[in-house]
Amino acid sequence: MQLNLTQVDHALVSAAVAEAEALTSGEIVTIVARRSDAYHDVGLSWAAAAVFIALSLAAAFPDHLHSFMSTLWLDWEHELADWKLMTGLLGLLLLKFLIVRYALAIMPLRMALTPRATKARRVRRRAILLFRSAVEARTHGRTGVLLYLSLDEHRAELVADRAINDKVAPEAWGEAMAALIEAIRDGRPGEGLAAEVRQVGAILATHFPRAQDDINELPDRLIEL
Quick: pLDDT tens for 175-212. 888 878 888 888 888 888 898 899 999 999 999 898 87
State the pLDDT at residue 58. 84
Measure the CA–CA gap between 209 and 21, rounded to whole angstroms: 9
The answer, yes or no, to whether residue 121 has pLDDT greater than 80, is yes
Q: Counting Cβ atoms within 10 Å, is residue 71 exposed (0-12), middle (13-18) or buried (19+)? A: exposed
pLDDT tens, residue by residue, 28-61: 999 999 999 999 999 999 999 999 998 888 888 8
**Domain chopping of the chain, boundaries:** 7-37+114-224, 40-112
pTM: 0.83
Exposure string over 37-65, b if 16+ CB within 10 A, otherwise e? bebeebbebbbeebeeebeeebeeeeeeb
State the pLDDT at residue 1. 65
State the pLDDT at residue 115. 94
Report the percent of the chain where pLDDT is more than 70.
97
CATH assignment of 7-37+114-224, among 3.10.310.50, 3.30.2130.10, 3.40.50.720, 3.90.1150.10: 3.10.310.50
The answer, yes or no, to whether residue 23 has pLDDT greater than 60, is yes
State the pLDDT at residue 2. 74
pLDDT category at 77 given cuts 50, 70, 90 is low
pLDDT category at 76 given cuts 50, 70, 90 is low
pLDDT tens, residue by residue, 137-184: 788 888 889 999 999 998 889 999 988 988 888 888 888 888 788 888
